[in-house]
Amino acid sequence: MSHWKFKQRSVLPGFGLALGYTLLYLSLIVLIPLSALFFKTATMTWGRIWDTVSDPRVVASYRLTFGASLAAAATNAAFGFVVAWTLVRHHFPGKRLVDAVVDLPFALPTAVSGIALTALYAENGWIGRWLEPLGIQAAFSPLGVAIALTFIGLPFVVRTLQPALEDLDVEVEEAAASLGASRFETFRRIILPTVFPALLTGFALAFARALGEYGSVVFIAGNMPMKTEITPLLIIVKLEQYDYAGATAIAVVTLIASFAILLAINLIQWWSGYRYRIGG
């Protein structure tokens, strides 16, 4: 039972060096600095920590942050699927360009994205003026938060799905069709199960990134207490009062939640890959 050992045997060299360097760099850049959050939080008593992270206003911000992030990630999952599918399976003029701009939200500074989106979705903006007569307030509402989060998370789903879709075996689809499966059935029983892990990864990364986003959201949110305050804003509010420990306490809560989500996703991915390898 070799897998009970720390490491399975391999003829490849360099495991010690590679893992050692990885752990060293990870510790120096990520783990030790992040541990400062926990130590700072630990300067408060448990009661104070609990009061800070369970304050109604903070809880309202969790609801908005997690809700809007979920909505944004779900939107990106649905539309990202269509975009990825189109980019892989269809040809149309200007496709290269479309494929290239998908990564734009990574490069634009978040504040610029926020300002540009607010200008567009405010009542007098290019898009907002069409929504306003319909009674839809886009900027300065939870919807605005979701719009900003959709923007910044857009590349994740598309870019994780693209390779998976390219990897799909067209012959299996054709076999299914020749056996009389409808398009929908083929999609549900052949395509979806195969690309599901990739879709999930994209969803999770978009979701995780949305949870932490601050720069683009503060411009469009309106920042009304209990209504459109996101959790990172409340971290800033704590810092403004020189309450570093309070700020880190809230940060630790979101950090743990994000970590749990990412770990779950990675386990699902590993599990599906494992199943695939056994099956294959």
Partner 1 sequence: MAAGATLQQHTPWNASREGHGIRAEIPWIKWTFVSVTLGYLGLFLAVPLAAVFTEALRKGIGAYLESFQDPAALAAIRLTLLVAAIAVPANLVFGLAAAWAIAKFNFLGKNLLTTLIDLPFAVSPVISGLIYVLLFGQQGWLGPWLSSHDVNVIFAVPGIVLATIFVTFPFVARELIPLMQEQGNEEEEAALVLGAGAWQTFWRVTLPNVKWALLYGVILCNARAMGEFGAVSVVSGHIRGKTNTMPLHVEILYNEYNFVAAFAVASLLAILAMVTLVAKTFVEWKSRQSVELLEPTTAEEV
Partner 2 sequence: MSLRRLLSSVALAAMTFGFLLPSLATAKDIELLNVSYDPTRELYKEFNAAFSQYWQARTGDTVTIQQSHGGAGKQARAVIDGLEADVVTLALAYDIDAIAEKADLLPADWQKRLPDNSAPYTSTIVFLVRKGNPKGVKDWNDLARPGISVITPNPKTSGGARWNYLAAWGYVLKKELGDLARVHDPKAAAEVAKANAKARQFVTALFKNVPVLDSGARGSTTTFVQRGIGDVFISWENEAYLAIKELGPGKFEIITPSISILAEPPVAVVDKVVDKHGTRSVAEAYLRFLYTKQGQELVAKHYYRPRHPEVAKRYRGQFVDVALFTIDDVFGGWKKAQQTHFADGGLFDQIYQPK
DSSP string, 211-278: HH--TTHHHHH---TTTT--HHHHHHHHHHTT-HHHHHHHHHHHHHHHHHHHHHHHHHHHHHHHHHHH
Residue 29: CB minimum distance to partner 2, A: 20
Of 203-211, 232-240, 256-264, 267-275, which segment contacts partner 2 by CB under 8 A? Answer: 232-240
Neighbours of 185 (CB within 10 A): 13
8 Cβ neighbours under 8 A, 6+ residues apart: 2
Nearer CB in complex with partner 2: 59/192:
59
109 with 215: CB under 8 angstroms?
A: yes
Nearer CB in complex with partner 2: 6/242:
242
85 contact, one of partner 1, partner 2, none, CB 5-8 Å limit per kind: partner 1
Residue 227: CB minimum distance to partner 1, A: 20
Residue 224: CB minimum distance to partner 1, A: 20
131 contact, one of partner 1, partner 2, none, CB 5-8 Å limit per kind: none
Residue 136 to residues 139, 142, 195, 221: CA-CA distances in angstroms? Answer: 9, 11, 35, 15
- N-terminal to C-terminal alpha carbon distance within the chain: 22
Residue 124: CB minimum distance to partner 2, A: 5
Member of 77, 146, 200, 208 binding partner 1 (CB under 8 A): 208
Member of 134, 135, 241, 280 binding partner 2 (CB under 8 A): 241
Q: Cα angle at 102 between 101 and 107, to 5 degrees?
A: 75
Member of 62, 140, 151, 203 binding partner 1 (CB under 8 A): 151
Nearer CB in complex with partner 2: 42/115:
115
Task: Classify residue 13 by its DSSP letter.
Answer: S
45 binds partner 2 (CB under 8 A): no
63 Cβ neighbours under 8 A, 6+ residues apart: none
Residue owning tokens 């810092």: 239
Q: Which two tokens stand for residue 134?
A: 């319909």
Member of 37, 70, 243, 257 binding partner 2 (CB under 8 A): 243
Give dist(CA 156, CA 74) in Å, integer: 12
Residue 55: CB minimum distance to partner 2, A: 7
145 binds partner 2 (CB under 8 A): no
Window 114-143: residues binding partner 2 (CB under 8 A): 118-119, 122-125, 139-140
Q: Where are the alpha helices (DSSP H) in 108-189?
A: 110-121, 128-131, 142-167, 170-178, 183-186
Nearer CB in complex with partner 2: 113/160:
113
Window 58-117: residues binding partner 2 (CB under 8 A): none
Residues that bind partner 2 in the complex, under the rule CB under 8 A: 55-57, 118-119, 122-125, 139-140, 218-219, 222-226, 233, 236-243, 246
